[in-house]
Amino acid sequence: MGRLSGKVAIITGAGSGMGAEQARLFAKEGAKVIGGDMNVEGLQAIINEIKANGGDAIAVKLNISSPADWEIAVKTAVETYGKVNVLVNTAGVAGPFIAKAADHDPDEWDKLLAINLKGAFLGSKYAIPEMIKDGGGSIVTISSIGGLVGGQGGTGYGAAKAGLIGMSKNIAVDYGKDNVRSNVVCPGQIRTPMSAVLETEDMKAAKQYYLNKTPLGHFGDPIDIAYAALFLASDESKFITGTELIVDGGVMAN
């Protein structure tokens, strides 16, 4: 308990899946949480749960590809809690799991980059100045092993996730002097609503493909990513910036 005591954390995608688990865990560890999501109903349910368990959290409707929404979210955090110390860029969308470049729909490509890449850029853009005002902070961006190797989510998805890694490294270099750290978590397959498509009959072969590449023999859970994000958000990782923490059941060891 208390690993994030005194910190104010904005978490995107907090209405379900990995973001929801992060919001629960961060609040349990003492953070004041601003949960952002387009799914207002699901988000409010998570915020209510956190409050019922003694945590401190508020909900903001957030389209992460909208600069105006980000300005409001960060302003709300500062007006409510006085500062921003942590940003966790979790929200994202999955594209076609097997999308080769020549077959990729251009509009789908634009959507994947606008949400998965631009969204994290905007969050960082608006949160960094507030972090600097308070003496520093930590940005944790949820990418994917699909940003490190091919064959883990489709071409557009992989491009966006690779972009997150490059962006995070640049933020680490540019703002290290301001004590703003920037790191990436690269999950493998995690059981979330986004990955539920793998449970369909049409994706049975794809699911087995991913399982065969995972030495631990099973997919991860959202809490596995939440604990990784917690470590990088906390002062326990105060000398870690510009790197990737891979949480994939051993896929990248193959």
227 annotated active-site: no
Name the β-bridge partners of 64: none
Q: Residue 106 has what pLDDT? A: 83
Report yes or no on 252 lying in a domain. no
**Strand pairing partners for 139?**
87, 182
Name the domain count of the chain. Answer: 1
Among residues 112, 116, 94, 142, which one has the least CA distance to residue 244? 142
pLDDT value of position 128:
98
Q: So what's the pLDDT on residue 152?
A: 66
**Dihedral over Cα of 139, 12, 152, 164: its sign:** negative
Q: Do 186 and 158 contact (CB within 8 A), yes or no?
A: no
- The residue count of the chain comes to 254
> Does residue 156 lie within any of the structural domains?
yes
How far is Cα 167 from Cα 212, in angstroms, rounded to an integer? Answer: 31
What is the predicted pLDDT for the residue at 96?
A: 64
> DSSP 3-state assignment of 184?
strand
Structural domain including 102 reads 8-246
What pLDDT score was predicted for residue 205? 76
Over the stretch 91-103, which tens digit does the pLDDT of each residue have? 998 776 566 777 7
Beta strands across the sheet bearing 32-37: 56-61, 32-37, 8-12, 86-89, 137-142, 180-187, 244-247
Q: What angle do CA 37, 240, 144 make, to 5 degrees?
A: 45
In a domain, 3, yes or no: no
- Whether 17 is in a domain gets the answer yes
Query: Is there a domain that residue 44 lies in?
Result: yes
What CATH number is given to the structural domain containing 173? 3.40.50.720
Separation CA 200–CA 208 (nearest Å): 12
Q: Residues near 6 by Cβ (< 8 Å), separated by ≥ 6? A: 30, 85
**Segments in the chain below pLDDT 50:** none
* Residue 77 counted as domain residue: yes
Residue 158 tokens read as 């992989």
Of 157, 209, 210, 227, catalytic:
157
19 vs 58: CA distance, rounded Å: 14
